[in-house]
Structure 1
Amino acid sequence: MAPLQAAIVILLQLMLHQAAGREVLLPRGTLYRVAGFPLSLPCAVTGYEGARTQDFEWFLYREDANGRQMGIVSTRDQGFPYAPYQGRVRSGEVRVERDSGDKARLVVQRLRPEDQGKYECYTPSTDTSYQGNYSASVVVKVIPDTLQISYTRALTGQPLPEGAGLTLTCSAGVQSKEHTHLSIMFGKRGGDSGGGEGGDVSTLREIIALDRVLGVTPGSSQAYRKRYEDGEITLEKRNGAAGVDTYVVRMRAVKPEDSGSYFCEAAQWILDPDGSWQRIAQRTLEIGNLTVQRLSESMTVTSTPSGRVSLQAGSPLTLTCQVSGLPGGGTSGLLVQWLKRGSLPGDAVAAGAGGVEVEVARMGPDGVVSWGDDLSRGTGGALELVTEGSYALRLFSARPSDSGVYRCAVSVYAGRKNPAPSAPATFSQRSEGVSVNLKTKEVLVSAVAQLPRGPLLKRGSTVTLLCNVTVTTTGPAQVQVLWLRRPIPEPLITKGDPAEAAALLPAGPPSAVAALTYQGMAQLFTNGSEVSVDRVSAVTYRLRVHAASLEDQGLYVCRAEVWGQDPHGGWYNTQARDESPAVTVYLYARAADLLLIPLVIGVSSALFVGIVVISTITCCFMNRLARQRPVK
């Protein structure tokens, strides 16, 4: 049995040795490659014995040489190349590149039509016995170069404002008898590589591409990928004549980092017999240089008229905001605001002194106009787009309160025509201030409040206060009277000397009681008390507090404001006002109130005595009856 087992083992070893024989591998053919472009043929050897680094020799069997073998290049013999290849090998145009010790590739940098034929990769033996396959061959067809690429418009190199739209075009096509595909890629070199200035001039960034199966793919960088997903970068194919199509890239809004040198790359692809796609031709076309100018460098905001404006109250006021240096095409949204600081007359306004800056009006990117705190301006003014980049604020009848320093503030949303309400602006800028001074006619006003002579004021009676207003001016005028009340200081109430209350006004703001507007309308602000206001004569205004209570006593003043009439018939506040000295309203107790205390005390005492007497009599009477009851 042992000799049989030994024979089986020897047989298996021989079979394994046969299976492990040398094998040389090349890609399956036929391979089609384009004249003028590289050829790369990988060759690998397996199942060999000896050193791990194997030698390779390449031969060509030309179709026009009747099958005659021609040596191309060898890894072990520098004199191996035949005459047609000696110069090309010495220049490196034809060479062998090693991937590893047992893998190498033949590289022909620029194929020629005469390079067509059958290529053989041969590996000299390093084995102890000659077994296996020592060479392999593949047919290579060299087809003409028909790849075309051109552009319809190149970049001029002129600066483009930040936020402007950019269009890049590239036309490409190929006419081949073989079934090939075409891919297009738009890219950029240099410029700002992502947020900083300067950038690396050697930086190459793919923007967007149309691959060999007509799929659009954005560049590998996160920035370009996000802009593609947001619809800011698009690629469109337009069919053309004679197989040459046009490819259009649109960038909705360029950014400073988009500066650089742009190019278009077209590649021809073929599907090899092994199922892999191979790029067999490629051309790159320079489109031109682009410089993106930041909005901070190009944008200017000015307001007219400039400097100082003086107008009579009631006159129309027009302020214009001019915006220049913005990207064209209407791809960017604008927020235009008119702001005002202060309302002081004279030189204080020119100096911009005092006051908090408030918004007068705004026009959003959607063109909707809204007004600031003074909502009445919505009917007395307008904010409108006059021409492209020119916005006018119009007040049909300016008031003295409209005096102040006006500025136009413009916020640009580059590439976003309708930004979200919370979206940050790309850049904002303000104009220089315009000082507006509204002149009013000379107005003098004085107010005096008084209590008419009469009996002492008591709780529950009607309190009457008069306010005499004197106005000196020219033209129509109306007076608006506001009645205010402050509490009487507590020490004076305790002391019971109301005459001294008017000389000492307590701290804190007064509370409004009632008002009579310049239009003759009554306004009541009481806490439940019944009050009324009216005008009893041309200069006298009256406040009445009916059924006055303790809450109604206090220090009363009347504040008079003068309203004038502008030439258009509108009324405005002249800012002329005066506040009267304080008048003390102190409520005394009524006679009935003075009798109430003894009455209450007397009734209580009488009731207590009666209860005691009745209880005593009742108790004694019941005890006597008990004693008189007969004993059984």
Structure 2
Amino acid sequence: MDIKWLVLACALYVGTTSAQRLVTVQPGPLVRTEGSHVTVWCNVSGYREGVEQDFEWSMYLHTAPDREIRMVSTAQQNYAYAVYAQRVNNKEIYVERLGRDSALLHITKVQASDQGVFECYTPNTDGQYLGSYSARTNLTVIPDTLSVTSVAQSLSTVEGDTLQLSCEVTHKTTQHTHLAVGWYLRPAEEPSGTPRDLVTLSREFVLRPGGSYRQRLASGDLRLDKTSASTYRLTIYKLQPADQGQFYCEASEWIQDPDRSWYAMTRKQSDKTTVKVQPTESHPLFGVRRSYEARRVRRGRCELGRTGRRSRNQGSSRQPSPTHQQEAEPTGGLDKQEAELPLGLGKQEAEPTGGLDDQGAELPGVLDKQKAEPTGGLDEKGAEPTGGLNMWNEDEGRSCPGDLEMSSPYWGCRNDAARTMWNSNGTLLAL
């Protein structure tokens, strides 16, 4: 009999202890920066009746540890004391329900005066008191010392250029914290859209590219370098038109809580730099070169080798060959079907170049009506041009459109200011 009573007593004890209420709160101390958004979770278990639980939050100052200051409750609307009433009414402090027995306290902009001990209390719903009904945690509020700066600029670039931007990130937190620094791009075509994540140096000091920039980071066309204790430099090689928009740097300061989870205490952005990327096809310099090459290929039919060079007197006395008399009139050794300018930049149809008119008078070689120079014949002094066609204009200093000039013997366009020149194959040369 004694054994039976002992077993029954043990069963009743186990049933009683298993039904005890247990309230748990996020363990502290929790260190947060002033002005940041603070959250603290609270859970309850072991209650008998399956009813929704209520949560009441209070705090105690370190200077008055026995004085309760009520903050917010899920059960009572006017629960807060005057010191917190206005912030509760403005939804700066509120409780978010995560379930029937779990809730989250929110303080949207924590103040230095909020530092102290926070208590989560759950009213009894069991009809009898068994177990614990509240739990406490400690909140420490520290100044926000994170600084993120970058010089705001407006840059105009060309496709294929290299872009470098620097960002300074500093903090003076005495606690052990980690920084994460990243660069972001707000595309010009989507000014109100989600910024693109270019590359980030995480709190674990791991380089992580954005999804669409993974390949460019792997190929070396995208870099993020920490060049000093506080300087983070972004480098993009071979800029693309899709890269234009607003670039900015963002840094966050992380701290590890006692439960081993990481929390971003504060996050800040730098000023934005606007970058415009002009496609190569529309750039004035490259556009002229490409147009020049296309026209040269399309109209470049020149047969100077069919006739020898001649002096001015010989050219004016020569008569048309009987063989070509009915086909075309002589034009410096070319008939009218073949005498197209190799660089017809200013004319849609070729004109005679260095040949004879119907009366035997010599015709000037024409690039355009305003800039006529002998081409393939004699220059103004009667000397033969060296190195083939001489497109250089000695008087006006240029014969190509824009800032480009014709140059012999390369049969191309050059830019004295930039000290560059393209030959007939489109190869970039240095003067």
| TM-score normalised over the length of structure 2 | 0.69
The reply on whether 1:254 has 2:239 as its aligned counterpart is yes
Conserved in 2, the CA contact under 8 Å of 1:31 and 1:139? yes
Question: SS in structure 2 opposite 1:349?
Answer: coil
The reply on whether 1:212 has 2:243 as its aligned counterpart is no
Offset of residue 50 of structure 1:
2.4
Q: Deviations over 1:211-256 (max 9, x none)?
A: 112221111x1x211111111110111224xxxx110000112222
- 2 CA distance for matches of 1:349 and 1:14? 114
Report what 1:226 is aligned to: 215
Report what 1:64 is aligned to: 63
Q: Counterpart of 1:391 in structure 2: which amino acid?
A: W
Offset of residue 46 of structure 1:
1.4
Report what 2:287 is aligned to: 300
Where do residues 336-375 of structure 1 align in structure 2 (5 Å cutoff)? Answer: 345-350=334-339
Q: Counterpart of 1:167 in structure 2: which amino acid?
A: Q
Conserved in 1, the CA contact under 8 Å of 2:59 and 2:119? yes
Q: Counterpart of 2:262 in structure 1: which amino acid?
A: W
Question: SS in structure 2 opposite 1:88?
Answer: helix
Report what 1:467 is aligned to: none
- Over 3 Å counting, the alpha-carbon distance change for 1:314 and 1:234 in structure 2 is farther
- 2 CA distance for matches of 1:388 and 1:68? 81
Conserved in 1, the CA contact under 8 Å of 2:304 and 2:334? no
Where do residues 39-78 of structure 1 align in structure 2 (5 Å cutoff)? Answer: 39-78=38-77
- 1 CA distance for matches of 2:427 and 2:99? 64
- 1 CA distance for matches of 2:187 and 2:14? 62
- 2 CA distance for matches of 1:121 and 1:149? 36
The reply on whether 1:155 has 2:153 as its aligned counterpart is yes
- 2 CA distance for matches of 1:33 and 1:40? 10
Q: Deviations over 1:90-141 (max 9, x none)?
A: 1111111122221111111111110000001111111133112211111111
Offset of residue 5 of structure 1:
4.5
Question: SS in structure 1 opposite 2:272?
Answer: strand
Q: Deviations over 1:65-87 (max 9, x none)?
A: 34311001001111101111111
- Over 3 Å counting, the alpha-carbon distance change for 1:201 and 1:13 in structure 2 is same
Q: CA RMSD in A?
A: 3.2
Aligned length: 328
- 2 CA distance for matches of 1:275 and 1:167? 37
Moved more, 135-144 or 283-292: 283-292
Conserved in 1, the CA contact under 8 Å of 2:19 and 2:48? no
- 1 CA distance for matches of 2:419 and 2:224? 30
Offset of residue 384 of structure 1:
10
The reply on whether 1:181 has 2:178 as its aligned counterpart is yes
- Over 3 Å counting, the alpha-carbon distance change for 1:314 and 1:264 in structure 2 is farther
Unaligned runs of 5+ in 2: 310-332, 343-408
Q: Deviations over 1:455-498 (max 9, x none)?
A: xxxxxxxxxxxxxxxxxxxxxxxxxxxxxxxxxxxxxxxxxxxx
Aligned-residue identity in percent: 31
- 1 CA distance for matches of 2:205 and 2:426? 47
Q: Counterpart of 2:256 in structure 1: which amino acid?
A: L
Question: SS in structure 1 opposite 2:48?
Answer: coil
The structure in which a higher percent of residues are strand is 1
- 2 CA distance for matches of 1:20 and 1:410? 86
Conserved in 2, the CA contact under 8 Å of 1:51 and 1:126? no
Q: Deviations over 1:513-532 (max 9, x none)?
A: xxxxxxxxxxxxxxxxxxxx
Offset of residue 47 of structure 1:
1.5
Where do residues 3-152 of structure 1 align in structure 2 (5 Å cutoff)? Answer: 4-5=3-4, 8-9=7-8, 11-151=10-150
- Over 3 Å counting, the alpha-carbon distance change for 1:230 and 1:79 in structure 2 is same
- 2 CA distance for matches of 1:350 and 1:249? 55
- 1 CA distance for matches of 2:25 and 2:220? 45
Q: Counterpart of 1:176 in structure 2: which amino acid?
A: T
Offset of residue 53 of structure 1:
2.2
Offset of residue 199 of structure 1:
4.2
Report what 1:165 is aligned to: 162
- 2 CA distance for matches of 1:133 and 1:346? 109
Offset of residue 8 of structure 1:
2.0
- 1 CA distance for matches of 2:157 and 2:276? 6
Question: SS in structure 2 opposite 1:348?
Answer: coil
Report what 1:235 is aligned to: 224
Offset of residue 22 of structure 1:
1.3
- Over 3 Å counting, the alpha-carbon distance change for 1:8 and 1:66 in structure 2 is closer
| TM-score normalised over the length of structure 1 | 0.48
Offset of residue 294 of structure 1:
2.1
Offset of residue 269 of structure 1:
0.9
Conserved in 2, the CA contact under 8 Å of 1:301 and 1:410? no
Q: Counterpart of 1:301 in structure 2: which amino acid?
A: V
